[in-house]
Amino acid sequence: MNLPSELTAISRLVDPSGFVPTTVPGNAVKAPNNITLFQISAGAGSLLIEAVYAILAVAALWLIWNMGGAGRWWRLAVAIAGLATPVLAYYGTLHPYPPYPFDREVTFAAVAAGVVIVWFAYLRLAHPERIRAAAAHAHTHHGVPPLDEDLEFRPADSQPATRPVISGS
């Protein structure tokens, strides 16, 4: 059984031996092959995730600082250690600065972060009521009780939880 000729045609990007000399998405960034393009994409994603971790750690520092209380100092120490993780990850990634073509991951991450910032700014300016509604929705618990309330949204009993008894039989 022979395959249709459309399925057996050789692309102009592949020589008859099957070797793929270039990648279509990699052409724009001059990546030599698919593996390198994947590594660049993974590196950019890693930089972006570390940015999220840094934002969460800074938010935790702000929340801990504003909550006060006796346990604030040890919580601050833990949050500072949490902030050290993305800082050290950036240091390990960017020192020494990656050589070509891996220097492109920094550019990709910066462009992706820029797109997010521009989009959020657009939403804040064009639809501020939607942002407020989303924030109000996140603040109130619609149909999902917080951990310290029962299903009717009443404060849960202050009785300590008892451990279930597991019988030997």
* pLDDT per position as a tens digit, 5-56: 665 555 555 545 444 444 555 666 666 677 888 888 999 999 999 999 999 9
pLDDT exceeds 50 at position 169: no
> How large is the angle between the packed helices 72-94 and 34-67, nearest 10 degrees?
160
pLDDT class for 3, splitting at 50, 70, 90? Answer: low
State the Rg of the chain over Cα: 26
> 66: which 2 tokens?
């504003």
What is d(CA 107, CA 31) in angstroms, rounded to the nearest whole number? 14
HSE (side-chain half, CA atoms, 13 Å) at 145: 10
Whether this model's pTM surpasses 0.85:
no
Task: Locate 98 and state its tokens.
Answer: 């990656």
149, β-bridge pairs = 155
Q: Where are the alpha helices (DSSP H) in 4-127?
A: 5-8, 24-29, 34-67, 72-94, 104-126
pLDDT in tens, 99-121: 888 888 999 999 999 999 999 99
Q: Which of 136, 107, 135 is nearest to 30 (CA)?
A: 107
pLDDT score of 59: 93
* Per-residue pLDDT tens over the stretch 65-104: 888 778 888 899 999 999 999 999 999 999 999 988 888 8
